[in-house]
Structure formats: C-alpha cells, structure tokens
Chain A
C-alpha cells in the first residue's frame, strides 16, 4: 500500500471518529436557527464584543428561500459574499478589528431540517501571521467526503485544508466571537510586519 493510500485510510478513520461521535447536522427550523444567530450577535454587541450596530445586524443577517420545483431550501446569509476579502464589502466586525461573514444552506424538507453546507470565514488584522480562518461544510456527496473532509478548516489558505471535528453554525459563531481573542503580544512576530 502506498503512502497516499495509507493517508486515505487515515482520512476515513478520522472521518468515522469525528462524524460518528458528533450528532447530525440538523436544526429544527431555519427561522429558529436564524433567530438564535440574531440573539447571539445581539448579545455579543451588548457585551461590547461585536462592534457592528444593532440595526446593521439586521442589514447583514438575511434570508433567501428557494421553494420552486418542489424544493424547500433556504440560506441564512451573514454579510455579503467577499471572495477578495475587501473591507469595503459589508461584514460583521469585532471590537478588536477582526471581521467575519458566513452563509448557511439548509434543506427544510426533511424533519428536522438538514444543514446542507456552509462557509464561515473570519479575517484578522494584517499584522497577524494568519490572515483568515475559514470553516467549510461542503454539500453532501463532495469528494472531500471520501477523505473525511466534508467539514474542514482552511488555515489562512484557500488551497490548504485540514480535518476538523464538525462544528455547528452556532458553535463556529461562538468561536468567532469569544474563542479567538487576539493576544496582546504575539509569540512569533513576522519580520516584514511592524509589531502591534
């Protein structure tokens, strides 16, 4: 067996270890999840963690529905699509300057509803070695799944992906708001970036 084959086996094992322990990606209803997200963002704002104002949260947190052709698929949108990572494009912003956006696709036909996929990306101030983290849940059937990577983390690169225990949208949002505090002093300082 080649090293690559061994790696694929490991991927499968990691997939089983992580996916079978974690409950399925289900949610009662889109409206409930959206409201829970609204509550979390509102609370973070009130606590001084989220700089985005309350009325701005409404403008950024949106819903899209596709109910034609017998489907009932919705998407919860948090901020605009920002492939180029431009600060001018509307996004959520933490008090310390980190900023993020997200999109969650949900199929409401099964009961409970099923989360089909999502992107959650948080971007850091420029002096940090890692510029962004993105958590992706690809749609069912993606070939990543064969590598146990349907849910994966991009550690500052669109091309590199790392296994990650699946997290729910609310867990990721909590991570973004409360779980990634910027250090006062970096352990490792890049030479080409002025120190903070």
Chain B
C-alpha cells in the first residue's frame, strides 16, 4: 500500500465514530472525564447492589463508554459480577414490550447457571427459552363438522363427529414479537431462583442495559421501568440502564425518576465555558492523533465545532482528515476542519422547518429554550440544540449550524 494512503488511513482509523466503544477503551483511547463522571456515579450501585440506576444523555454524549467503564469498575470489586448487554442486539427496540428485559435477564442467568444441574433450573430454562425464542406445538382442534354440530362443546356421541384435526401452531418469542405473553409471575420466580443459585459463585449480579436510549416512545420506556426494571431489582439484581433523552421532556419524567434510585445525566461538555471540558477534549485529540499532525488552530476549531459532543468531535476529526487527504496536504489544517464543519452543519440543517428555524435563531440569540412541543424536543434529540449542565445550565445551537442560520 502506498505510504501516503497508509499514513492517512492510520490517522483516520484512530477517529472512528461508529466503533464499538469497548474497542476504543481497549485501544487505550479512553480519557477520563473531568469531575465526577457518569461511570463513577453508576459505580455507586456497588454500595447497594440491587439498586436501579438510570443514565440519560444526548446522542453521541458518551453514554455507552461510561456504561462500559462502570462495568469494568464494578467487576473490579469483590463479590460483584457486572454484565453489559446491548438490548438492541437481542430484540427490535422499536417494538419492545414489557417482560423483554426480564427475559434477557433470565437468559443471562441461565448462562451463568449452566454448571448447575438442578431440576428447577431445567424447568425455568424451558420457560425462559420458550418465552424468549418462541416454540411450536401441536394443537388439537375441532373439525369443521364438529363445530357445526356441537357449537357449545357439549360433546356428542362419537359416531356423529369426524376425527378431530391437529395442527402445528407457532408461538413467537418475546424477543421477536410485539406483545408479551402473560407469564410474568413464573418469570419473576425463575429470575429470583436463578439469581439465588448463581449468587454463591458470582456474587451480586448487576446488569447494565444499553440501547434503550433509541426508544422514541417515552410511554414504552415507562412501562419497562415500572415492570421489568422493578421486577429484576426485586429479584435482588442491580440494574443500570440508559434511557432516551426525550424522557426528560415527557409527561413521564416525574414517574420515571422516582421509580429509580439514581439518575445520572450525561450532558454535553461546555467546551466554551468550562476550561476542564476544553482540556478533556484536547486530551482526546492528542491521545488519538500523531504528534504534530493536527495544527493548533485546527485542533481548537475541532473542539469548538464539536459543541462538546464526544461523537461529533471524533466524526468531525475523521472527516477533516479525509479533507486533508483530498487536498494533498501533509497535516490537518484549519481549512480542512472548516470544510468538514460546513458539510456537517448543512447536513444538520436538512429537514429543518421554517418554525424550527425560528426556534433555532431564537436560541442562538438568547440562549433560552424551553422545549414544549414534540418538534422542539426533536431539535434536542437530533442534536441541533445542545444542552449543557455545567458550569451553568444552558442551551445552545450546535456550533456547526450557527454560521448557516
């Protein structure tokens, strides 16, 4: 492979925004956040292992990374066994129903309990796997004639009936269909029993559920909290889960937050007003890039235009490196960042209505924003408006959009 191409590919590979965060951590790219990170807040669950913790934040804010770091920290503690699960890899989140998290928990516990031979475990294994993946069975049903002659099912002499028919009936598992089956009590018992069994070998089980932030339905998330999370916790298992940002702006916020023991917020980093956040972002760029590859002015531009959103920093940097390659430069300059930033901002502007534009301009001018309508919440969810919690709570239009308004 050519030297120039090889060099640029190596630079870009260090800034992959879609990479599994675990890979980034394993590659040595993780930089601890300033002040109290969400992961350290989550790790407090160790103090009360069967507690329920919720982590909410915008897209690309670093929630999964914090969850993974917390998982590692928890596993360093004696007598605790933490397990990270991306729910979206097990089921279609857009159609998720109650009992899904309980079933996934059951499957995890079965895996942990596989060394044990216990009749009850076998029984629960059958229950959980059927509930998870579905099953087929022969069903005897009345023939058509039988239905005509004996509509009330009173039973007629044999000579008046045709032979009954049998047919295979498939039942979909909860991981593949929308509605759950009503076997909740059995599931609860199964989880409780399995947890009791594995506790002796593994200690306190804590499950960290990722992926639910992609739910666009706050009511569904509320159902999962009320049902699944409560039941898993009651079985003595700790739960940490990532929730959708729109929860904060929905009618369910006041129901969901009290239903968990602790809520952590992974907000954007205010790189404009918080020097520690600015240093944090600078360190991220330095740890991933080759020395002197990124010009100082380009580095400052990348931090500024990321808006304090971690994934945007990574993506913008990779796109800027691509621009540098196409421009035949030897290093990353501000002009390349500006080109990538312009493209980024224009993409964010796509699909913005006239009313949205008015709101964006108002936020840009005043810094004030009180999301009331679905459209206004969507501006937050889509990252067109960013929320900062520290040093002061404020809202701002994404910096890549500002020049285009």
Contacts of B326 in A (CB 8 A): 54-55
A55 CA / B339 CA spacing, docked (Å): 15
Q: Which residue of B lies closest to A46 (CB)?
A: B2
- In the complex, chain B residues 128-167 whose Cβ is within 8 Å of any chain A Cβ: none
Chain B: residues with Cβ within 8 Å of the partner, total of 8
Report the Cα distance A46→B326, complex, angstroms. 11
Quick one: which of A47, A53, A55 contacts B2, CB cutoff 8 A? A47
Q: Which residue of A lies closest to B326 (CB)?
A: A54
Inter-chain contacts of A55 with B (CB < 8 A): 326-328
Which residue of B3, B5, B328 is within 8 Å of A53 (Cβ)? B328
* Residues in A neighbouring B4, C-beta threshold 8 A: 45-48
Q: How far is the CA of A55 from the CA of B323 in the complex (A)?
A: 11
Question: Quick one: CB contact mask for B307-328 with A, threshold 8 Å, 1 for yes?
Answer: 0000000000000000001111
Report chain B residues within 8 Å CB of A43: 2, 5
Which chain A residues numbered 40 to 65 have a C-beta less than 8 Å away from chain B? Answer: 43, 45-48, 53-55
Question: Would A46 and B5 count as touching, CB distance under 8 A?
Answer: yes
- Chain A's interface size range is under 10
Interface string of B1-37 (1 = CB under 8 A from A): 0111100000000000000000000000000000000
* Contact with A54, one of B2, B3, B328 (Cβ below 8 angstroms): B328
Scan residues 3-21 of chain A and give those whose CB is less than 8 A from a CB of chain B. none
Q: Mark B93-106, 1 if CB is under 8 A from A, else 0.
A: 00000000000000
Partner of A48, one of B3, B325, B327: B3
State whether A48 touches B328 (Cβ < 8 A). no
Chain A proximity of B333: nearest CB distance (Å): 15
- In the complex formed, the residue of A with least CB distance to B6 is A46
With a CB–CB cut-off of 8 A, which chain A residues contact B3?
46-48
Tell me, rounded to whole Å, the shortest Cβ–Cβ distance linking B113 to chain A.
55
> Which parts of B310-365 form the interface with A (CB within 8 Å)?
325-328
Q: How far is A46 from B5 in the complex, measured between Cα atoms in Å?
A: 6
Residues of A within 8 A of B5 (CB): 43, 46
Interface centre among B326, B327, B328 (most CB of A within 10 A): B328
- Nearest-neighbor residue (CB-CB) of B328 within chain A: A53
Q: A46–B327 Cα gap in the complex (Å)?
A: 12
The chain B residue with its CB closest to the CB of A58 is B326
A48→B3 CA distance, assembly (Å): 8
A47 to B325, CA, bound (A): 13
Which residues of chain A are within 8 angstroms of B327 by Cβ–Cβ distance? 54-55
- In the complex, chain B residues whose CB is within 8 Å of the CB of A45: 4, 328
Q: List which A81-126 residues lie within 8 A (CB) of chain B.
A: none
Instruction: Tell me how far the C-beta of B320 lies from the nearest C-beta in chain A, rounded to whole angstroms.
Output: 16
Closest to A53 in B: B328
- A47 / chain B contacts, CB cutoff of 8 Å: 2-4
CB distance from B6 to the nearest CB of A (A): 8
Contacts of B328 in A (CB 8 A): 45, 53-55
Residues of B close to A54: CB separation below 8 A: 325-328
Q: Return B39 CB to nearest CB of chain A, in Å.
A: 41
- A93 CB to nearest B CB, Å: 14
Give Cα A188 to B5, complex, Å.
38
Query: Which chain A residues in 110-166 approach chain B with CB under 8 Å?
Result: none
Task: With both chains docked as a complex, state the minimum distance between the C-beta of A46 and any C-beta of chain B, in angstroms.
Answer: 4
Which residues of chain B are within 8 angstroms of A46 by Cβ–Cβ distance? 2-5
Q: How long is the Cα–Cα vector from A54 to B324 in the complex, in angstroms?
A: 11
- Give CA–CA (A47, B6) in the complex, Å: 10
Q: How far is the CB of B372 from chain A (nearest CB, A)?
A: 47
Within the complex, the shortest CB–CB distance from A21 to chain B, in Å, comes to 33
Give the Cβ gap from B290 to chain A, nearest Cβ, in Å. Answer: 18
Nearest-neighbour CB distance to chain A for B54, whole angstroms, equals 48
Give B325's nearest chain A residue, CB to CB.
Answer: A54
Assembled-state Cα–Cα distance A45/B3 (Å): 10
Q: What's the nearest-Cβ distance from chain A to residue B330, in Å?
A: 12
Measured in the bound complex, the distance between the Cα atoms of B2 and A45 in whole Å is: 9
> How far apart sit A137 and B327, CA to CA, in the bound complex (Å)?
35
Q: Which of A173-192 contact B (CB under 8 A)?
A: none
C-alpha gap A54/B329 in the complex (Å): 10
Chain B residues closer than 8 Å to A53, beta-carbon distance: 328
Smallest CB gap from A56: residue in B: B328
Question: Most B CB atoms within 10 A — which of A46, A48, A55?
Answer: A46
The closest CB in chain B to the CB of A44 belongs to B2
> Residue on A with the closest CB to B5?
A46
CA distance A54 to B325 in the complex (A): 9
A sample of 4 more A-B contacts (CB under 8 A), given A43-B2, A47-B2, A54-B325, is: A46-B2, A46-B3, A46-B4, A46-B5
**What are 5 inter-chain pairs, A to B, with CB distance below 8 A?**
A43-B2, A46-B3, A47-B3, A54-B326, A54-B328
Which 6 pairs, one residue from A and one from B, show the smallest C-beta to C-beta distance? A46-B2, A47-B2, A46-B5, A46-B4, A53-B328, A54-B328
